[in-house]
Every structure is written in C-alpha cells, then in structure tokens.
Structure 1
Amino acid sequence: MAGSIRRHWKRWLIAGVAAVAVLCTAGPYVYINYVQDKPPAALSLDDPPRSDSSGSSPGSGQGVEGAWKVGSGSQAGYRVDEVLFGQNVTAVGRTEKVTGELEIEGNRAVSGSFTVDLASVKSDSDQRDGQFRGRVMNTERYPEATFELTEPVDFGSAPPVGEQVSAKATGELTVHGETNTVSFELDAQRTADGFRVNGSIPVTFADYGIEAPDFGGIAVEDDGNIEFLLAFDRA
C-alpha cells in the first residue's frame, strides 16, 4: 500500500514539474506572440512630419544655408534585441525631448550636435524603463546622450521639397560618460519650411561602460542602435 502511494506521488510530482516547465516555456511565447504589441517600426523619413508646416518653401527662393535648430516633431531613442525567457523580442524606447543645432554652408553641414534627455525615454514596459533609468544607464548621474559632428557632412545638393538625399556622418557620441567616434549613414529630406534628418547609430554597450542587462529571465544583446528623426527649423 505504502509503495503504491509513493509511486502515485512520484507520478504526480513528475507531472507537476512537467506542467510548470510547459507553462514557463509556453507562457512567454503566448504573451510575446499573441498578447504583447509589436515593436514600433524604425524611425524613418517615410513617417509624416509631426508638426504643421506653415513657413515659405525653401525650394521657392529660401536657401538652406545658415543656422538651424532641432524643433518639434523630433524623436530619438534606442532599439535593442532581448531574450525574454527564451523568446526573442525587440525593445524600443523613445523620447521627444531632443535639442540641437546645425550650421549649413553651401550643401554641407559644417557643424552640428544633438542631445537626448535619457531620463524621459519610455518603452512599452514600466519595468524596463525603471531598469533603463537605474542600473543600466544611471540617468541621475548621466542624464543625457549627445552627438557632435567632427567632420562636415556633404549632401551634394539641396533637393526639392519632399525629396531625400543621403550622406555619411562622422562625429563623437557621448553616452554614460564615455565618448567614442562613430560613423553612420543618414538621410535628409526637405520640408515646406525646413528639413528632417534620420539615422541610426550602432552602439556596443561595453564601449560606453554599460553592462548589458542579464537578470530575472531577461538578457539583452551586447549592442543596439540609437535611432533619431530630427526636424530642423530656422534658428
């Protein structure tokens, strides 16, 4: 009798462990693939401007030379791949708190920079945001990320309103108190009263003294991207 009870108990124990294993595997899969919203698409010049255009058209007499500043409708943030309990997900956080300036001579941007308020970056998860502001980025000590051009950007020509041109940008990126030289492709598009600039800067976290998070069933890849879409108005 006692042996029979022990055998039944073992079977129930094995079944219970198997059920927990299935739930641990299937739960995140169901949540990620059927419940959680898809991550937003990468920032792109195909996105419509987020501010009204009421000025005169640069294509009808107003040139692009001179001083410009980052205006409303600008966004910046991060895109990074995570592994959540064995399931691959893409985490995206963004903010509209972006400032900056640009100086154009002829068809070249000869100087410029932009700054992102990291403490205001938000994703679709309050828990992720808390980790980002705290143990990952320590925004109390390092509240901003900045990029500054160190070489002119040559766009070749000023396109008509609505059209795009591409160029390569080189400058210094400062994140988490560390500065590195970076180069990346960017696109520019003229609007009725200014222009927009879009790009993605690859970032390897170790280069900036950032330890990729790995805790509680969540692991983050060793690199990611800083995305930006900047709308420029006359300074």
Structure 2
Amino acid sequence: MGLRTRTKVIIGIASGVVVVGAAAAIAGPVIYANTVNGQAAAAPSVSAGTSGGAGKLSASEADGTWTSTGDSFAGYRVHEVLQGQDVNVVGRTKDVEGTAEVSDGSLTKATVTVQVAKISTPEAARDEYFRNTALQTDQHPTATFTLTEPVDVSGALDGATQDVTLTGTMDLHGVEKPVTADAQVAVAKDGTVQVAGSIPITFEDYGVQAPSLGFVTVDPKGSVEFSLDLDK
C-alpha cells in the first residue's frame, strides 16, 4: 500500500506501529483492513513434518547445547480497531540468536535474543516509527527472553508434538519483566528441534502507551511470537 501521499498519520506502539495515510482514507477502512489482515502471517507453530515427519531423540542424543539456525524468526502481533474494522499487524525478523540446554529429558536453560531494529512489516514507514520512536532501538537494540524454570520435554523427544509452558523473563525496551510463553516442541525426522509459541505482553509494562486517537484504537496488549529451529 502506498503511503507517500499528502497526509500521513503514524501511530506507534511498543511492539508495532500502525500507519494510516491518506491512501487508507481514500480506499476506505474496510479495504485497508482487508489489505493489512491479508499481509499478516499466521501464528507460528511447529512444522516438523516438513523435514519428513516427526522424529525421536534418545536421552544421549538430546543432551547438550542446541543453537538456533537461520530458519528461526521472532516478532510481534498487535490488534487495532480502525473506524470499526479489526486490523491485525504482524512484524518479523530472522535476526534471532537462541541457545537451549537439554539434560535428562528437560530443557534446563534457554536464551533467545532478537534484534528489534530488524523487525519489519510490509510498511517501511511503520517500521521506521517502530524503531526510532516506539522502542528507541538506538538505545535498546535487542529484546531477550531467558528461561528461569526447567521444562520437561521428554514427550517431544519421544516423537510427539508437546505443549509446554516456558517460564522466564523478558527484557524489552530496557525493562525486564517475568513472563510465560505457551509453546510447542517437536523433533523433526532429521533430528533438529523446533520450538514455537507466543508471549503475551502489556505495552505499558515496558514503558510505552498504546495510542487511542478516536478513529483508531490499539489494544493495550499484544504478543511476542517466535519460531526456533534448533540444531546441535
């Protein structure tokens, strides 16, 4: 959608920015909402089947340190209401570094660091505001999730897609808060491991207010999403 028109309104939020320009006003909120919703990627989920089906790992094979590969990604999902129309915005990046340690069927340590300034959507103007104003990525270039409690992942090692709750901390915009993530874990046929899920966040907890400007209202809560492909 072209945004270089005579007028432009840029609205920032902690995990994303909604850009509503004159083009949106001319096309109408329904068309704008359909366009943005059509660009929004589905929520991440494990896809071990793409590597040939579910796999298994013995305890000795699973034990050790796992590192994210280039197929990993993370980002955000936010919801807004624009003149009565529901709009979902998703931003993502593959600039993610994750490590995980497994011992005796449990995930004992994990850290995921995301280069926030690299998160992008189909709208460059939205991304610029997100980086420069909303999250001030020149001062806070990364967001980091750190696991604080071990998690049993033996079901995934035995070949199942396992639902887990990851308890940890989120360091975002210079603020660290305790969080929990609903996630899935699965082993692919090639022996790699995928972890996918989301972390609900409240923007003001991280020092950013979700805007409400009459014609558009952004939810005060959103989610951080992630999909990690891990290899040893």
Output the TM-score relative to the length of structure 2. Answer: 0.79
The 5-angstrom pairing of residues 216-227 of structure 1 reads 217-227=215-225
Residue in structure 1 matched with residue 86 of structure 2 by the alignment: 88
CA drift of 1:216 comes to: 9.0
84-93 or 111-120, larger mean C-alpha shift: 84-93
The 5-angstrom pairing of residues 25-36 of structure 1 reads 27-33=28-34
CA distance, structure 1, for counterparts of residue 152 and residue 95 of structure 2: 27
Aligned length: 206
Question: Deviations for 1:78-114, whole angstroms, at most 9, x for unmatched residues?
Answer: 0000223442200000000000211110110111100
Residue in structure 1 matched with residue 16 of structure 2 by the alignment: none
Give the residue type in structure 2 aligned to 1:149: L
CA drift of 1:115 comes to: 0.3
Question: Judging changes above 3 Å, is the alpha-carbon distance between structure 1 residues 35 and 214 closer, same or farther for their aligned structure 2 residues?
Answer: closer
CA distance, structure 2, for counterparts of residue 180 and residue 61 of structure 1: 33
Question: Judging changes above 3 Å, is the alpha-carbon distance between structure 1 residues 153 and 99 closer, same or farther for their aligned structure 2 residues?
Answer: same
Give the residue type in structure 2 aligned to 1:143: P
Give the residue type in structure 2 aligned to 1:68: W
209-218 or 37-46, larger mean C-alpha shift: 209-218
Residue in structure 2 matched with residue 43 of structure 1 by the alignment: 44
Residue in structure 1 matched with residue 21 of structure 2 by the alignment: none
Contact 1:136 1:212 in 2 (8 A): no
Contact 1:58 1:64 in 2 (8 A): no
CA drift of 1:168 comes to: 1.5
Contact 1:76 1:116 in 2 (8 A): yes
Residue in structure 1 matched with residue 192 of structure 2 by the alignment: 194
Contact 1:159 1:165 in 2 (8 A): no
CA drift of 1:213 comes to: 3.5
Question: Deviations for 1:126-162, whole angstroms, at most 9, x for unmatched residues?
Answer: 221122112211111111100001111112434345x
The 5-angstrom pairing of residues 72-221 of structure 1 reads 72-161=70-159, 163-191=160-188, 192-214=190-212, 217-221=215-219
Give the residue type in structure 2 aligned to 1:188: V
Question: Judging changes above 3 Å, is the alpha-carbon distance between structure 1 residues 25 and 160 closer, same or farther for their aligned structure 2 residues?
Answer: same
CA distance, structure 1, for counterparts of residue 86 and residue 125 of structure 2: 18
Question: Judging changes above 3 Å, is the alpha-carbon distance between structure 1 residues 77 and 48 closer, same or farther for their aligned structure 2 residues?
Answer: farther
- The counterpart of 1:231, out of the listed 214, 224, 229, is 229
Aligned alpha-carbon RMSD (Å): 2.7
- Unaligned 5+ segments in structure 2 are 1-23
Question: Deviations for 1:37-94, whole angstroms, at most 9, x for unmatched residues?
Answer: 3421111114865xx79xxx76489611111111121010000002234422000000
Q: In structure 2, the residue corresponding to 1:37 is in which secondary structure? A: helix
122-131 or 208-217, larger mean C-alpha shift: 208-217
CA distance, structure 1, for counterparts of residue 37 and residue 120 of structure 2: 16
- Unaligned 5+ segments in structure 1 are 1-22
Q: In structure 1, the residue corresponding to 2:176 is in which secondary structure? A: strand
Output the TM-score relative to the length of structure 1. Answer: 0.78
Contact 1:167 1:186 in 2 (8 A): yes
Question: Judging changes above 3 Å, is the alpha-carbon distance between structure 1 residues 135 and 216 closer, same or farther for their aligned structure 2 residues?
Answer: farther
CA distance, structure 1, for counterparts of residue 227 and residue 137 of structure 2: 22
